[in-house]
Structure 1
Amino acid sequence: MPKLLSQTLRLTQLYKSGVIRHHSHAAFSPSELTHFGALASTWWDADGPSRLLHQMNPLRLSFIFDTIDQYQIPGLTRTTGLKMLDVGCGGGILTESLARLPRTRSVIGLDMSDGVLEVAKQHMKQDPGLVFGNKLQYELCALGDFPVPESKSFKGEATEEQRFDVVTMFEVLEHVPNPAAVLQAATERVRPGGWIFASTVNRTVAAYLTTIFIGEKVLRLVPEGTHSWSKYINENELREWFIDNKLSVPGTGENWDVVRSEGCVYVPFKGWQFGGPRNLGNYFLAARRRE
């Protein structure tokens, strides 16, 4: 049995072993960009290659706001709404949905694929509310290159208003060469009491069979080559990255709590649903920065 199946490894250990490769600015690899760029023209086809993303979108939204409501953080109850950053936004399926919500103050979508981001910008123009609402903008940029808010406080820290209330990374970490760097970059852009929401896939035999063998090769629910099993990240590895490493945002010394994690499965004719073990296949995870 492959070593990765017989051991529980942290992200730092994976990085050292070479499974998670180094890449400047935590960027997508050229092959990943080429793959997703080829899907640009069909991104908004709900019955096309990105249909599973369309079907997952309601689950993403409910996970974000149900989690925030459940933990009732006074600092996040803004009259002006939440300031959000969507990392790896692709064609903007989630980003647009967030921007339409009255609870949202503003949304920035980041992606490194010029072709896919152009699709997002063109699709946004179909909704006058998005065009003239000034709540949504897209940036062709890696998260590591996206500016960290400049300091205005005497301690040399970015102020609360400069950072984001919510950073989302759905179906992103399994596509980058160095997910630890992406996570670190995300933490530096979240304000005290703010959130990181992520979804990815466990590195298990079951996940390989469902997402790659059946999903790509047999049923062709997604284009072949979309996933790489070696890049999958076990739920306990992602959890331990936040907990065991005592991660802190530079200049603050404040740590993070993993407050929610849910397994999710794709049910034919019903779509994505929460359920099943969170350490088996796909899962969602929410981490909150301590105030």
Structure 2
Amino acid sequence: MGVDRPRRGVQHTLVTLSANPSSIDPADVARFSAIAGAWWDPHGAFAPLHRLNPVRLAFIRGEALKRFARDASARAPFKGLRLLDIGCGGGLLCEPMTRLGFTVTGVDASPRNIAVAGAHAAQGELAIDYRATTAEDLLAGGEAPFDLVLTMEVIEHVADPGVFLRDCARLLAPGGLMIVATLNRTLKSLALAKIAAEYVLRWAPVGTHDWRKFITPAELRGFLAGQDFEVAGPFGMAFDPLAGRWSRSADSKVNYMMTIVPSAT
């Protein structure tokens, strides 16, 4: 899989957030802002996402190749397509997606996350449009729609997941694709993603997740009921502690992804 030649310059924009955007949970924003400097440390607070990233990237690339009928052998198969990463954090997905040819916009409610993302992209001379803003404010500002919208491990942190998901979907262009990754609300996820990950193995800081805010696939589908979207999945992901790596799995009781496309008219 080839990569595109790095492009110089990083747009890094701070905007005023709307007074009470539904996707903002101030406590979660503050929590992630406090550890923003660790985004690119593969052994730090975001080590679980670094380990998960190869599986996420392979899934996104595969789904996008199918949806947009692109040549998998091309150096940058997604040239000419716009991608929005909502809740981009430090840019762990934005950078490889840029190298695959997408014109990438990454948004996050934390200005500190955006500052870290912009600085890291500048080091690699990657042209990524980073903005400290929300999906709601993009809509209010009349943002042009995107071909691919990502919201990965974000929806379980927002204040109103239904409104958040619908706003994300409204930013999708006709013929586009949205991919959501999140955590299922099951006893297994309570044991593994909350108790083991935060208190036993210390993979994530205590308080990173609130199990009560985890979202079942049925709930996610319900958020878009009657909204002219087709939802597929769940597509599970599982961690093998012996091999130390993630892989796709038929088990969606902890981590899973779903795809969303506009209904054919």
Q: TM-score, normalising length from structure 1?
A: 0.77
Greater than 6 Å deviation, 4+ residue runs: none
Per the alignment, residue 235 of structure 2 pairs with: 262
CA RMSD for the aligned pairs? 2.0
User: How much has 1:69 moved relative to structure 2?
Assistant: 2.9
Per the alignment, residue 59 of structure 1 pairs with: 55
Q: Which of 259, 262, 276 lines up with 2:250 in the alignment?
A: 276
Per the alignment, residue 123 of structure 1 pairs with: 120
- Identity percentage over the alignment? 32
Per the alignment, residue 189 of structure 2 pairs with: 207
State yes or no: 1:146 paired with 2:138: yes
User: How much has 1:92 moved relative to structure 2?
Assistant: 0.6
Cα contact 2:94–2:106 (8 A) shared by 1: yes
Per the alignment, residue 231 of structure 1 pairs with: 213
State yes or no: 1:179 paired with 2:161: yes
Seen in structure 2, the aligned counterparts of structure 1 residues 79 and 118 have a Cα distance that, compared at 3 Å, is closer
Counterpart residue identity of residue 45, structure 2: P
Q: Which of 19, 26, 29 lines up with 1:30 in the alignment?
A: 26
| CA–CA separation in structure 1 for the residues paired with 2:188 and 2:250 | 12
Cα contact 1:148–1:188 (8 A) shared by 2: no
Secondary structure of the residue aligned to 1:54 is helix
Counterpart residue identity of residue 25, structure 1: P
Unaligned runs of 5+ in 2: 1-18, 71-76
Unaligned runs of 5+ in 1: 1-22, 151-157, 248-254
Cα contact 1:84–1:166 (8 A) shared by 2: yes
Seen in structure 2, the aligned counterparts of structure 1 residues 259 and 69 have a Cα distance that, compared at 3 Å, is farther
| CA–CA separation in structure 2 for the residues paired with 1:72 and 1:282 | 26
- 1:112-143 CA-partner distances (Å, limit 9, x unpaired): 11111111111111112x1xxx4x11001011
Counterpart residue identity of residue 82, structure 1: L
- 1:164-186 CA-partner distances (Å, limit 9, x unpaired): 10110000000001011111111
Seen in structure 2, the aligned counterparts of structure 1 residues 218 and 119 have a Cα distance that, compared at 3 Å, is same
User: How much has 1:277 moved relative to structure 2?
Assistant: 2.4
Seen in structure 2, the aligned counterparts of structure 1 residues 189 and 257 have a Cα distance that, compared at 3 Å, is same
Counterpart residue identity of residue 250, structure 2: G
Per the alignment, residue 69 of structure 1 pairs with: 65
Counterpart residue identity of residue 121, structure 1: G
| CA–CA separation in structure 2 for the residues paired with 1:178 and 1:79 | 32
User: How much has 1:259 moved relative to structure 2?
Assistant: 3.0
State yes or no: 1:289 paired with 2:262: yes
Counterpart residue identity of residue 259, structure 1: A
| CA–CA separation in structure 2 for the residues paired with 1:108 and 1:265 | 29
Computing the radius of gyration over CA atoms, which structure comes out larger, 1 or 2? 1
Q: Which of 149, 163, 166 lines up with 1:167 in the alignment?
A: 149
Q: TM-score, normalising length from structure 2?
A: 0.84
Counterpart residue identity of residue 187, structure 2: V
| CA–CA separation in structure 1 for the residues paired with 2:33 and 2:68 | 39
Per the alignment, residue 246 of structure 1 pairs with: 226
Per the alignment, residue 97 of structure 1 pairs with: 96
Counterpart residue identity of residue 173, structure 1: I
State yes or no: 1:218 paired with 2:204: no
Larger helix share, 1 or 2 = 1
Cα contact 2:139–2:167 (8 A) shared by 1: no
Secondary structure of the residue aligned to 1:93 is coil
Cα contact 1:260–1:287 (8 A) shared by 2: no
